Structure 1
C-alpha cells in the first residue's frame, strides 16, 4: 500500500479509486513494476498448478519486531516450489523493538541465506509507515529482473494469465488479468480458460478505462461470457468462431483432466523412478503435536543416508489439521501429504480430489517409514497374484434376441457376475475377458456355486462351443516391502 500511495502522490493527482489484486508502480528510474497482492494470493498456487509462470520475483515481507511467522514459512515454501528468486523486505525497521539480527537468523534456519551470509537472497530494510527503503527495494527487484533477462514482445496478439475473477452484479463477469505478451485492446476477442468474450472495456488498477494494455500490465477485463478460474490462461483470438472453438476444446479438456486426474501416489512416483536416475520424493507432514512432527521429519531424513537413488524432501511440516493451503502446496510441488494422527478438513479433501493430491493418514510412525522405504527401494508396486474362483463347462448353446448364450454347469468353486474369465478349449486358452451376464433360469444372479446350472454371455466374444471350459479368476495385488526382499534374499 505504501508503494502505491508513494507512486500516486508522485505521479498523479487524486487517490486510489480501486484495488484489483494487482497493480503497477513506477520506480525512480521510470521503469514499471507489477505487484500481486501477496505470495499467498489464491491465484499464486493456482497459476503454478496450471503451469502458468506469472510471478518473476517474490518479495518476502518480514516484520523486524515479530520475526518469522507461520504465513512467512508458507510464503517461502510457495516461492521455492515455484522456483522463483526471493527478495526479503525487512519491514517495521522504524520500531524501537526491531531486531533485524534475530530475523536474519530465523531466515537462515528456514534455509533462506541472505547475501551478507554468503547466500544469494537480497535483504532490504524498509519502513512502510515512514516510507523509507522503498526506492531501494524497487531497484533491487529491477536488478533481479535484469538478471533474469525478462522481455516480452508487445507487437502481437495478447496472452497472459487470470489473477482473479468474479461476477459483478452491475458489470457481469469481471476478470483481472496480467498481460504477459502482446497488447490487449478493447474490442479484442479473447478466450480465458474455457470461457470467451469480446473485450467491452479495460480498467486499470486505478479504476480508469483504457484502450490497451501491454506486457506485465494488470487490467480488469469486461465482456466475458462467464467467470474464468484464477490461474487460467487467456489469449486473444483471431475471430469469434475461433474463440468459440478454443473455449469448447478447453472445456472438454478440463472435464477429461478432472476425470483422469491421477493421484500423486507413491506408486506413481515409482513409475517416474523407472525413467530417472535420481528422484526427489516431496512430502508434507502434518501432525497432532510438534514432537511427533519433528521425530517423523528426522526419521525420513535418515532414509537419505548411504543412497542417492531417491532423496526424501520434507517441504513443509507443521502441527494441525491438513488444510487447503497444504493441498495447494502439495499440488505445486508434486508432493503427497502425510497426516500423523490428524485428518484433512472438508475444504482440503475437496481440493485434494480436484487437484489429484494424495492424502495418507497414519498413527504409527513405523508405517510411514515402511511405506516410504518401500517406495525408495522400488518395492511398492504390488505383485499380482491370480486366484481361480471356479470353473464351468459349456453344455448347451442358446440364442435369445440375437444374443448367443452359453448354457453351463459349474463344476468347481463359484462363478461371480462381472468377474474375469478365460475360455479354454482342449487345454488352450482361446479367450480372456470379462463375464457379461450371469443368470439362473431367467433371473440375473450375483454368483453360481458348484453343481448348479446357469446361462452366461461374455463381453466381446461369441465364438464358444459345447465342451469349452469357462474359468473364473481374480487378480489380487499383494503389497511388497523392503523386508520381503530381505527375507527372500536370506532364503
Structure 2
C-alpha cells in the first residue's frame, strides 16, 4: 500500500491535524508537520498506543474473518413446473481460527444465505474509538461461536451419512474435472492455513464447490437438496403404492400396404417410441417417419397384442371414412335381373318384348356388344334388367353382369338346346351364388323340344322343379309374348324369397356397368346404384376416375335429378372414363376424391409396368429361341371397354408359331392424333 501524509490520514479519521500530531508523538512517532509522510508501521504504532491507553492491549490474533458479498441468480421450479429466476444477494464468511501450537487449523465454511439487511463494511486502516472497538470485538466473538457450531453440525452430518452408506470417505484432497478439491473438514497438521490468495478466487472456488458436485460426493456441504434424495423418496413412494392391474385393450387395426411408424402408433393409441422399441427388438432401426410395408406393420401390431387386418389401399372401404351421422334405414328395393345365355338365343328380343322397344335391330349384326341396363315398371312391380352379350368373346362382360345381379334369367332356345355359352353362364351364376330362373325361348317354333332342353340342363346340375329340383323353368316366346307374365311372376317371387333391402338415406354406392367416351358429352359411365341415393351435384369416385355429377340420364335418355337403389343411370361429369366393374362411392370432400383417384392412377401404372417387366424377363429365353417369329403390332380403339377387351382376347388367340399378335395399346373413343403418332412410331396397324 502506498504512503500517506498526516493531513490525509486526519481527513480519513475525521480528526484535527494538531490532535493527530499530539497522539503520534505520544505513541513515539516523531511527526511534527502536516506534510510528513506516514507508513503502515506508524499507523500500527498509533493503534497499539490507543489500545494501551484505553486498557485493551492487542492480544495475538486468534482468528481471521473474511467476508464476501456477491449478487447471484438462482433458478427455482414453481408448482406449475416452470423455472423462475430469482435475484439473491449472497454473503459468504470464512473464519480461520488459530489454536494452540501443534494443533491443526480448521477451515470453517458457512453456507451461503440470502441476506436482506445491508451490513456496513469495516473501514480499512483507520483508528476506532473505544466503544466501536468493543462492539467489533463482541461481533467477532459471536461470529466465531456461530462458525464453530456450524462446523460441528457439518461434521456430525458427514459422519451420519458415511455410516449410512458404509462406504469409504471420498478423497477430498484430489480434485476432479467437475469438482475442485473440497476444503470442508480438511485438517492440516503442523502448519497453519495460508490465506494469501485474492478474495475473488476464493469465492469462485466456493461457488463451484457448492454447485458442481462430483459423482458420489456425499460429504460436500451444499445449499440445495440433492436430486438423489428425491429419487430415493420417489422410489419408496412407488414401492408403497399399489397399482391395480388393468385389462389390456385389444383393437382391430387395419394395416394398409404402406404406413409410417407414426401413423401405425396412432392407430394403436400408443406412443411412437413403443413401436420403435418393438422394431428394434426385431432388428430394425427405424425413425418415426419411416414407411413400413404391410407385412412388417401386421407383425408389429401382433407383437403389441392387437388384431391386424390387411387393408388394400385401392379399397374404398379402407381409405374412405364414411362419417355419415344418418342412421341407415333399410327399405325393400327392386331386384336386379341379368339375362344371360348363348348367342342368338333371343335374350335381347325377350327384353324388347318386356320393354316394348326394338333394341336388337340397333346392334351390329344383331349381336349385343354392350351391357344394357333397363329399369322397367311391370304390372307386378319394378324390375331392373341387365342384358349381357352372349358371344364367346365377351366372357369378362358376362362375369361383371353376374357380379352385380340378384337373379339370373338363363335363356335357352328350345330348338337349339344347351350351348357352350349357356354352360359358361351357369358357371358364372354358381360362382356368384345367384339363383337361376330358366326361360326356354322360341317355344312357338315347330322344331322346339323343351323336354330335351330340360334333360340337357339336368346334366349341368340345373334341375327343374318338375324333376324335384329348386330351379324354376318357364316356357316363353319372345316373338308372340307367350309365358312372359309367368316369367315376371317367377322373378318377383324369387325376389320376395331373397328379401332384398337397401338404405336410401345414405350416400350412394354402386358399380360401373359400362363406360364410354362420347364426342359431345365426354366420359359417360353407366352406373347401377346398390345402396343410397345418387343426386345431381354429388362428388363421385369410380376407381381412378372422379368428378362432380353434371347430369344423370335414365335408360331412355331422360334427365333425372336423383336415383335410388337398383336404378341404372348414365352419369356425366367424370374426368376420365372409368373401368367397368369398378366400385362407385359418393364423397363429401372433392379434394379427398382427387387425392385417392390420383393415387390409384399412379398405383395402376406401377402395377402395369411391373407386369410388363416380369413378362419380359420370363419370355426372354423364348424370344431368343423364336428369333425368326414375325410380330404384328396392333392398336385397338372401340366405343366401350368391353368391346376392346373381347377383340384383344380374340386376336391374341390367332397367334401362331410364325406370326405373333401384339396389342400395344387399347383405348376408348375415336382415333386421335396421338394414336396415329404411336402407330407410326411403332409401325403398328391401327
> What TM-score results when the alignment is normalised by the length of structure 1?
0.49
- TM-score where L is the length of structure 2: 0.36
More relative contact order, 1 or 2 (CA 8 Å, 6+ apart): 1
More strand by share: 1
